[in-house]
Amino acid sequence: MKPLVNILLILGCFCFYSSTAQNQQKIDSLLQVIKEEQSHDTTRVKAFNDLGLLYASVDPKQAKSYINKALTITKDIESPRGMAGTHNCLGIVYYYQKEYDSARISFEKALTLNQKVDHKWGQASALNQIGVIQMIQDKYHDAIQSYRKAKVIFEEMKDTVSMVSSIDNIGLVYLKMGDYQKASSFVFKALQFYENMNNEPGIRRGYFRMSSIARKQGDYEKALEYSKMALPFAEKDGNKLQLASALTNMADSYSNLKEYDKAIAYFNKALEYRKLLSNKKGMALVQSRLGKTYYDLRQYEKSITQLRLALNNFSTEGDEKPKALTHNHLAKSYQKLNELNAANLHANTSLNIAQKIGNIEAERDSYLTLAAIAEDFGKNTQALQFYKNYQTLNDSIYNKENEKRVRELQTIYETEKKEQEIVLQQNEIELLEQKAKTDKLQRIVLGYGLIISIIIFGLGFYGLRQKIKRSRLEKEKVDAELAFKKKELTTHALHLAKKNEVLESLKQKAKTLQTSENGQNGYQQLIQTINFDLQDDNNWENFRKYFEQVHKDFNINVKKKFPDVTSNELRLMALLKMNLSSKEIANILNISSEGIKKARYRLRKKLEITTDKSLQDLVLGL
């Protein structure tokens, strides 16, 4: 597929319209703008350029006339950016006419003008367009360099969409070169960007490209998988042309996998969309492939029907290569039906077309078909000569393919070598720029250094003394606050321990009072009061606040590391963190010494602490 879409995507200035009615409406509107706006300004430049683009594919002479008027205005008002944009448009007109050298010259002029005014986006845009032309002219090494330069500029400008488009285009160049590994790498990288951005057109294009790479490698199952992934995006867009292409790709994959029934079903669906678009060439291509599929199924009459329909839909002038292939398939189908005269006629027609356009592959295949037909006629001498011609061309193609592969490998080598040179040059430039900055700074320092040094030394010395003084005072203040909080925490913990010890003693005395005659009236109330104080959580809340001020985030860290720890176990760990004795901890928690041992044992087990490790050390380290 020709990469015109890439040019249109990166221009960012002008739009195309497919509908004739819309085109005419737009033309009328632009002509009105030109009529009303008599002064030479950017409004008229844009109007003339837009008109040129609208006429680009239908009337190139008129298109050039409008764009040249825009160019005259930009020269009169001395607008380099306007001239750059106009050269861009002129390049597109040349592209439509397949005047690729002229198109490249126009895009290079746009690049030069944008460089003069330091218009970064315009430079990157022109480089991308130059890359498109270089790719069409099989200058793959140059195309990759143009796309890489554009990518760097887009990346600097944080224009992610355009940057990814450059990556995608590099992958397309490698695909045309036959370096499928690198093609896959770049296309897949672009696809990942598009998926992260949820850019549906980019995602669809990425899937199509990955499908093409897989088909080129003969991995038709993978090609089919990517085509299926692309199909929903094409359906969502409602673009009949994209749908037809997606369905045709799927049909081709099924055909190569010898799943002919599915192939025929998808070819027919693709054909329906081509008919809706009144796209006769597209219809012809699908019908030709459909005919070949029927041939593979040995349904020769159906094959002939589709192939003849294809020939009727091909244009009278042009489409020569697919017409040659279609005639050859017809010849083979007629031969299978033993209609040798018809077979011979189509095989010779195929050969004549192939020789006329210089397509060696089609010429070779025609000779092979003619050899088989001559053999059926019993003309063995003629059959042998045809077969010799076939073998000669086949050897020639093999040699050319080897030569092409050598050239491609050489191009890949030169590209990688150039990439390394660019990296080295960039490093050298950075070093030189750094050295220049350093030299400039040294001159400034030498010029003003003495005065500034004296001022800075005086102010710096005074400031340093003040900073040291403030730091010392702040440290003393923080240390004092921390010491006070530690003291409060320890005091509070000891108070809890002492309070619980006293309350436990009173509880025992109260129980003694129960048996005495004089204590029957008040012992029960006394025990309830003591129990209430023993279980009072307010004291624990105050303790927690003090503890968190001294040991910040201790509880959070424990819960993160040991999420199953209970609130009681967290209390025990907090008291261990304070390095209190087992007796003090027992008093605070109001349990016996034996209870403390059991609690420590259960905690060790939950924290999965081995016997050779200390629970105390673990807690202190948290």
pLDDT, residue 2, reads: 34
Single out the residue of 595, 600, 596 nearest to residue 615, CA to CA: 600
Q: How far apart are CA 471 and CA 465, in angstroms?
A: 10
In the numeric block, the tokens 């430039």 are attached to 429
Residue 295 neighbours by CB under 8 Å, 6+ apart:
303, 329, 332, 333, 336
pLDDT, residue 557, reads: 85
**Residue 252 within a domain:** no
pLDDT, residue 18, reads: 40
Q: Could you tell me if 164 and 156 are in contact, meaning their C-beta atoms sit under 8 angstroms apart? A: no
pLDDT, residue 508, reads: 67
Which one is predicted more confidently, 154 or 437?
A: 154
**Residue 319 within a domain:** no
- 483 by Cβ neighbours in 10 Å (0-12 / 13-18 / 19+) ranks as exposed
Say whether pTM exceeds 0.85. no
DSSP letter string, 545-605: HHHHHHSTTHHHHHHHH-TT--HHHHHHHHHHHTT--HHHHHHHHT--HHHHHHHHHHHHH
Neighbours of 132 (CB within 10 A): 28
| pLDDT, average across residues 469-482 | 66
* Domain final residue, candidates 152, 173, 198: 198
Look over the chain and give the mean of its residue pLDDT values, rounded to a whole number.
80
**Residue 50 within a domain:** yes
| pLDDT, average across residues 154-158 | 92
- Count structural domains, the chain: 2
Which one is predicted more confidently, 480 or 303?
A: 303
Q: Could you tell me if 620 and 577 are in contact, meaning their C-beta atoms sit under 8 angstroms apart? A: yes
Lowest mean pLDDT among 160-169, 288-297, 471-480, 558-567: 471-480
pLDDT band at 586 (very low <50, low <70, confident <90, very high): confident
pLDDT, residue 527, reads: 65
Residue 618 neighbours by CB under 8 Å, 6+ apart:
607, 609
pLDDT in tens, 343-399: 999 999 999 999 998 888 899 999 999 999 999 999 999 989 999 998 988 887 766
Where helices occur in 238-279 by DSSP H, the ranges are: 240-256, 260-276
Q: How far apart are CA 560 and CA 571, in angstroms?
A: 16
Q: How far apart are CA 354 and CA 335, in angstroms?
A: 20
pLDDT, residue 3, reads: 36
pLDDT, residue 515, reads: 64
Q: How far apart are CA 290 and CA 267, in angstroms?
A: 6
Q: Could you tell me if 70 and 52 are in contact, meaning their C-beta atoms sit under 8 angstroms apart? A: yes
CATH number, domain with residue 161: 1.25.40.10
**Residue 474 within a domain:** no
Does residue 339 surpass a pLDDT of 80? yes
* Domain final residue, candidates 198, 221, 236: 198
**Residue 349 within a domain:** no
* Domain final residue, candidates 130, 164, 198: 198
Residue 434 to residues 294, 438, 440, 512, Cα–Cα distance (Å): 69, 6, 10, 91
pLDDT in tens, 99-133: 999 999 999 999 999 999 999 999 999 999 999 99
Does residue 330 surpass a pLDDT of 90? yes
Q: Which amino acid is at 282?
A: G
Q: How far apart are CA 506 and CA 500, in angstroms?
A: 10
Residue 315 per-residue DSSP state: -
Does residue 498 surpass a pLDDT of 80? no
pLDDT, residue 187, reads: 92
Q: Which amino acid is at 372?
A: A
Q: How far apart are CA 227 and CA 537, in angstroms?
A: 68
pLDDT in tens, 503-548: 666 666 666 666 665 555 556 656 665 555 555 555 666 677 767 7
Does residue 72 surpass a pLDDT of 70? yes
| pLDDT, average across residues 237-253 | 88
pLDDT in tens, 541-574: 667 776 777 777 788 888 888 888 888 888 888 8
Does residue 13 surpass a pLDDT of 50? no
pLDDT band at 577 (very low <50, low <70, confident <90, very high): confident
Q: How far apart are CA 195 and CA 492, in angstroms?
A: 60
Q: How far apart are CA 106 and CA 112, in angstroms?
A: 10
Residue 338 per-residue DSSP state: T
* Rg, Å, the chain Cα set: 43
**Residue 108 within a domain:** yes
**Residue 156 within a domain:** yes
Q: How far apart are CA 320 and CA 194, in angstroms?
A: 38
Residue 441 to residues 430, 452, 457, 515, 622, Cα–Cα distance (Å): 16, 14, 19, 96, 50
pLDDT in tens, 14-41: 333 344 455 677 777 777 777 775 655 7
Q: Could you tell me if 376 and 340 are in contact, meaning their C-beta atoms sit under 8 angstroms apart? A: yes
**Residue 513 within a domain:** yes
pLDDT, residue 87, reads: 92
Q: Could you tell me if 427 and 419 are in contact, meaning their C-beta atoms sit under 8 angstroms apart? A: no
pLDDT, residue 432, reads: 67
Does residue 6 surpass a pLDDT of 90? no
pLDDT in tens, 195-244: 999 998 899 889 989 998 998 899 999 999 999 998 898 888 888 888 88
Range of the domain at 171: 1-198
